[in-house]
Amino acid sequence: MRQSGLLNDVTCSLTVDKSPHNAFLPLLVAFLILAFAAVFWTSLPYIRRCRSTQRLMDLVCCQGSQHSMESVRTTLQNEETTNELSMEQNKSKSTRLKSLDTFRGFSLTVMVFVNYGGGGYWFFEHAPWNGLTVADLVMPWFVFIIGTSVVLAFSSMHKKGVPRLQLLRKLSWRTIVLMLIGFCFINYSPRDGLLSWSWLRIPGVLQRLGFTYFVLALMQTFSPHREIPLKEHHWWNPIQDVLLYWPEWLFVALLEIMWLCITFFMPVPNCPTGYLGAGGIGDDGLYSNCTGGAAAYIDRWLLGDKIYWHPSCKALYHTTQPFEPEGVLGTINSIVMGFFGMQAGKILLFFREKNRSILTRFLAWALILGISAAILSKCTRDEGFIPVNKNLWSLSYVTCMGFMSFVLLGVMYFVVDIKKWWGGQPFIYPGLNSIFVYVGHSLLGFYFPFSWEMRFQDSHWEKLFQNLWGTALWVFIAYLLYRKRFFLKI
Amino acid sequence: MRQSGLLNDVTCSLTVDKSPHNAFLPLLVAFLILAFAAVFWTSLPYIRRCRSTQRLMDLVCCQGSQHSMESVRTTLQNEETTNELSMEQNKSKSTRLKSLDTFRGFSLTVMVFVNYGGGGYWFFEHAPWNGLTVADLVMPWFVFIIGTSVVLAFSSMHKKGVPRLQLLRKLSWRTIVLMLIGFCFINYSPRDGLLSWSWLRIPGVLQRLGFTYFVLALMQTFSPHREIPLKEHHWWNPIQDVLLYWPEWLFVALLEIMWLCITFFMPVPNCPTGYLGAGGIGDDGLYSNCTGGAAAYIDRWLLGDKIYWHPSCKALYHTTQPFEPEGVLGTINSIVMGFFGMQAGKILLFFREKNRSILTRFLAWALILGISAAILSKCTRDEGFIPVNKNLWSLSYVTCMGFMSFVLLGVMYFVVDIKKWWGGQPFIYPGLNSIFVYVGHSLLGFYFPFSWEMRFQDSHWEKLFQNLWGTALWVFIAYLLYRKRFFLKI
């Protein structure tokens, strides 16, 4: 459509020489196998309860080991696991918010699958510029979860009487470790050769997550601990979880206004002010060097060329400029996203035991954010006031992801924590060891048995199998770690 | 010398255009810095004892954190660390054999340094074929240590009443994990691309270590637990630690006879029987395809071309055949090497508290093995009955390494465990987390901050600095893990 001016004289006619394989068939098969595995896993306890089966299994398996496995599991369930980030504040009860671990693990599992290739399907790859694919969903979910975890963990530590100085030391240490891991160990594939000044990249996923965590945790540390005075009745009772935190809301609102002002009003040399496009051959090639507008300009100004040189828009839009998807300006909206997560955490804390209130509020927030996203993007990909864009972390993207996060966490909270219909398996295992799985899957992605040279390059079969297999292996490793009660904390 | 037949008509005259940098200067500087660091580290407690300095440090450092660090250290020292492999058998005392941990850590540190490049010096690289460099020392030390650890650990578990079936399960599990780590995660550098059938390598360092461990542990499990009847006096009292274990000695002697017979009497097509050379252009190019003789033939027969294609002899001898330095035949001698280590463990157990007896026996074994090595190799590199050769793990290589291991362990036992002049720092830290450091250094070797693109390719300075820095980082990481009381067990 966009290039119609250039292609006026060209006519195309398509003929099909050979009818192609159905590319979605592998996906269907994989889904059926996974569904079968889930059903099998769920029904395993019932099968084992049958006496005849039990006797057979006793014959086949080593009874001793089976017994010890069971006892480990029981011990584990009785005892508090140690990931402080998502520990619920009510110390006497000491129950974990399982839905949050499940949500974290679910995001992580999708992230691993997507990073390993997503079976080669386009909707498991990042959108070239505007738009939303499965790959674009994961990181903001993670940011949201960080926000929720920060509230729960810091509130719990506050209740335990941990002094503020120690909180500060803890959050600084975590930030430094996250950023160092991101900068040193994750960013560079050994395929590119040794780290060199010529292709250094300073920002990155873990760097942004670390900085976002830093800001959110700092906010939580310095905000006075507030309890809702439940007895009193005011007109603002239903929204007191918001009103009580007005200074934080003000701060975040100012941040967002800053993002809007910089994005839309900062002049960028040789580019239209407020440009949000991909540049390159997009927009009839008028702004070919303007990829990302103000966001890119700020990154280039602050970081020079030590940023990402292979943005997702490169292939489709033939862009020549580097663009940093984890850039400085987008980090503002990442903080806003995390703040939504903090709001979820505050709701969970304030209205604990009142599940109806929690779910109502989650629904309300989902509606507010979803409607905002719909208005901002006009429910289109490219024509909205602010298009949904993962590279820019645009406001509509953040509100849209906030909507999804509230819905997902709400549903999981209902299913896992209220109704206890589901224990969160298998996602809860990676969710309890997210740093380990994230670092591990990044480092070992190219190694056997996570990947190997494929034989059938022309079909999705082997690629999908390889990626699902690699992902399943990480879930299984996380399960083994859980069984060994190993939880990597930083 | 070897190629003199080909080079008769060529005369060379050397002129020096520019006097070169002294390549050993960086080594001297590095040594001085390390010595200074050691002295500084040792004297740190004395410096801190001075009141005035203490007050200054209180001002500079955060007192709270310092206190908590101290308390962690005290806790740690009071309490038994958990690496079962080298736990001393005397359960009531529960003191670890620190010298063994130190020896393990020392080997590991040298191994990391050598694997990271050894500053580019030839003596930190593997010998092309016959001969001995620093790089060739490390692996047999490790095998020796495995042997000693197996005796101490299994004897301790036997005393605790662990049933034999559980021991079998434990040692099988460890073997499988070691081999899987070696096969899957360590062997392939992502630089070579994804794992492919076209360049698979089945054997490897961890595979051999794992298999050696398996055989040694099996031997220890099935050998009856024997105590020396200390009261009785026989002529064979001084060597009863050997005589009591005659079945094991017989087994190992048969293994070694097997190695000798196969190596020297097995006919290899198109090659002289008993050939031990490198082939290629060595031996006037007469046996160019005979690299490694019978050892290589067996590997090719069993494993096809799924072996190592870049042996250390390739550059100098222009060999064209693959040769597996961790091949099947050499594993026999690896088991023999580990058996020497087991003997050290038995000496430590039998004559516990009688340090004089222990040291005498260590010395005797060192002398026996050293003299054997001297006779077998005729104290030359190439002219002995059996030349010292790491690629083949020749008998003279094994006895020579046995000699060094007994001397090193004896000296460390004297300094660390008897006299307590030295606590084994810093080597004891990697020694307590050897699997972690080994896997870590292999996976992260190409990543910043362990390596980076060098600017001064033509000097040893930066290379030496980079390799020492990478090694020091791993020692430091091991120290941090020790402080956090994290000990990776498999």
pLDDT in the model for residue B475: 95
**Residue A273 token pair:** 């002010």
Count Cβ atoms within 10 A of the Cβ of residue B77 and give its class: 0-12 exposed, 13-18 middle, 19 or more buried.
exposed
pLDDT in the model for residue A64: 37
Q: Are B487 and B433 in contact (CB under 8 A)?
A: yes
Q: Which of B404, B351, B423 is nearest to B359 (CA)?
A: B351
Segment B239-245 shows an average pLDDT of 80
> Chain A within 8 Å of B449 (Cβ-Cβ)?
yes
Residue numbers in B near A444 (CB within 8 A)? 185, 443
pLDDT in the model for residue A400: 96
Tokens 């082939």 found at: B279
Nearest residue of B to residue A199, measured between CA atoms: B453
Q: What is the pLDDT of residues B186-202, one digit of tens each?
A: 666 666 677 777 778 88
Cis check: omega of the bond before B449, within 30 degrees of 0: yes
Q: Which of B71, B103, B36, B27 is nearest to B485 (CA)?
A: B71
To test the contact with chain A by mutation, choose from B179, B181, B453 the residue with the greatest count of A C-beta atoms within 10 A, namely B453
Residue numbers in A near B444 (CB within 8 A)? 185, 443
Classify the C-alpha dihedral B451-B452-B453-B455 as positive or negative.
Answer: negative
Mean pLDDT per segment of 10 residues, for chain A of length 490 residues? 56 80 83 87 76 51 38 34 36 70 96 92 92 95 96 90 92 94 75 73 92 95 72 69 86 96 93 91 89 92 88 90 92 96 92 88 95 95 93 96 97 94 92 93 86 81 90 94 86
Give residues with Cβ within 8 angstroms of B427, minimum separation 6: B102, B103, B105, B106, B108, B109, B475
Asked if the Cβ–Cβ distance from B453 to A193 is below 8 Å, we say yes
Measured CA to CA in angstroms, residue B304 lies from B276, B327, B391 at distances of: 20, 12, 18
> Chain B within 8 Å of A236 (Cβ-Cβ)?
no
pLDDT in the model for residue A5: 52
Give residues with Cβ within 8 angstroms of B390, minimum separation 6: B126, B127, B132, B136, B139, B325, B397
To test the contact with chain A by mutation, choose from B170, B452, B455, B483 the residue with the greatest count of A C-beta atoms within 10 A, namely B452
Q: Are B103 and B431 in contact (CB under 8 A)?
A: yes
Asked if the Cβ–Cβ distance from A447 to B169 is below 8 Å, we say no
Q: Is B318 a catalytic site residue?
A: no
Tokens 């030390």 found at: B141
In one letter, which amino acid is A490?
I
> Chain B within 8 Å of A188 (Cβ-Cβ)?
yes
Nearest residue of A to residue B199, measured between CA atoms: A453
Confidence band of B228 (pLDDT split at 50, 70, 90): low
Asked if the Cβ–Cβ distance from A195 to B444 is below 8 Å, we say no
Checking if the pLDDT of B277 tops 80, the result is yes
3-state DSSP of A352-381: CCCHHHHHHHHHHHHHHHHHHHHHHHCCCC
CA atoms of A329 and A350, how far apart (whole Å): 32
Task: Indicate the SS3 state at residue B130.
Answer: strand
pLDDT in the model for residue A78: 36
Assign residue A131 a region: left if phi > 0, alpha if psi is -120 to 50, beta otherwise? left
Asked if the Cβ–Cβ distance from B195 to A453 is below 8 Å, we say yes
Distance from CA of residue A57 to its chain's centroid?
40
Give residues with Cβ within 8 angstroms of B112, minimum separation 6: B430, B437, B441, B470, B471, B474
Question: What are residue B297's DSSP bridge partners?
Answer: none
Identify which of A179-188, A320-329, B142-151, B283-292 has the greatest average pLDDT. B142-151
The residue from A21, A67, A126, A158 that is catalytic is A126
CA atoms of A393 and A397, how far apart (whole Å): 6
Q: What is the pLDDT of residues B459-471, one digit of tens each?
A: 788 889 999 999 9
The number of C-beta contacts closer than 8 angstroms across A and B is 65
> Chain A within 8 Å of B191 (Cβ-Cβ)?
yes
Asked if the Cβ–Cβ distance from A184 to B64 is below 8 Å, we say no
Tell me the shortest Cα–Cα distance from B440 to chain A, in angstroms.
Answer: 10
Of the two residues A29 and B113, the one the predictor is more confident about is B113
* Continuous segment of H or E residues that includes residue B328: helix B328-350
Measured CA to CA in angstroms, residue A60 lies from A46, A53, A108, A167, A480 at distances of: 18, 11, 35, 52, 22
Q: Are A443 and B444 in contact (CB under 8 A)?
A: yes
Among B188, B447, B451, select the one facing A447 at the smallest CB separation: B188
Q: What is the pLDDT of residues B378-405, one digit of tens each?
A: 999 999 999 999 999 999 999 999 999 9
DSSP label at residue B50:
S
Checking if the pLDDT of B457 tops 90, the result is no
pLDDT in the model for residue B192: 65
pLDDT in the model for residue A417: 93
pLDDT in the model for residue A54: 53
> Chain B within 8 Å of A71 (Cβ-Cβ)?
no
CA atoms of B304 and B290, how far apart (whole Å): 15
CA atoms of B253 and B10, how far apart (whole Å): 50
pLDDT in the model for residue B191: 61
Measured CA to CA in angstroms, residue B290 lies from B126, B191, B260, B317 at distances of: 20, 30, 18, 12
The residue from B67, B126, B310, B460 that is catalytic is B126
Q: Integer distance in angstroms from the first to the last C-alpha of chain B?
A: 50
> Chain A within 8 Å of B484 (Cβ-Cβ)?
no
Asked if the Cβ–Cβ distance from B194 to A446 is below 8 Å, we say yes
How does the average pLDDT of chain B come out, rounded? 84
> Chain A within 8 Å of B199 (Cβ-Cβ)?
no
pLDDT in the model for residue A230: 59
Nearest residue of A to residue B488, measured between CA atoms: A486
pLDDT in the model for residue A20: 76
Asked if the Cβ–Cβ distance from A185 to B447 is below 8 Å, we say yes
State the ipTM, two decimals. Answer: 0.77
Task: Indicate the SS3 state at residue B2.
Answer: coil
Confidence band of B7 (pLDDT split at 50, 70, 90): low
Can you give the pTM of this predicted structure?
A: 0.81
Measured CA to CA in angstroms, residue A134 lies from A22, A114, A121, A383, A402 at distances of: 21, 8, 10, 21, 15
> Chain B within 8 Å of A451 (Cβ-Cβ)?
yes
Asked if the Cβ–Cβ distance from A447 to B185 is below 8 Å, we say yes
Tokens 């160092």 found at: A180
Asked if the Cβ–Cβ distance from A194 to B452 is below 8 Å, we say yes
> Chain B within 8 Å of A193 (Cβ-Cβ)?
yes
> Chain B within 8 Å of A163 (Cβ-Cβ)?
no
Q: What is the pLDDT of residues B48-97, one digit of tens each?
A: 776 555 555 554 444 333 333 333 333 333 333 333 333 333 444 446 89
Q: Are A282 and A317 in contact (CB under 8 A)?
A: yes
- Packing angle of the helix pair A328-350, A205-222 (nearest 10 deg): 50
Q: Cβ of A58: how many Cβ atoms within 10 Å?
A: 11
Tokens 């619920």 found at: A88
CA atoms of A113 and A124, how far apart (whole Å): 9
pLDDT in the model for residue A92: 41
Asked if the Cβ–Cβ distance from A195 to B443 is below 8 Å, we say no
pLDDT in the model for residue B65: 38
CA atoms of B467 and B445, how far apart (whole Å): 10
CA atoms of A174 and A185, how far apart (whole Å): 16
CA atoms of B42 and A406, how far apart (whole Å): 56
Nearest residue of B to residue A447, measured between CA atoms: B185
Q: Are B400 and B409 in contact (CB under 8 A)?
A: no
CA atoms of A205 and B93, how far apart (whole Å): 50
Tokens 């800001």 found at: A215
Nearest residue of B to residue A186, measured between CA atoms: B447
CA atoms of A64 and B164, how far apart (whole Å): 14
Asked if the Cβ–Cβ distance from B195 to A165 is below 8 Å, we say no
Assign residue B277 a region: left if phi > 0, alpha if psi is -120 to 50, beta otherwise? beta
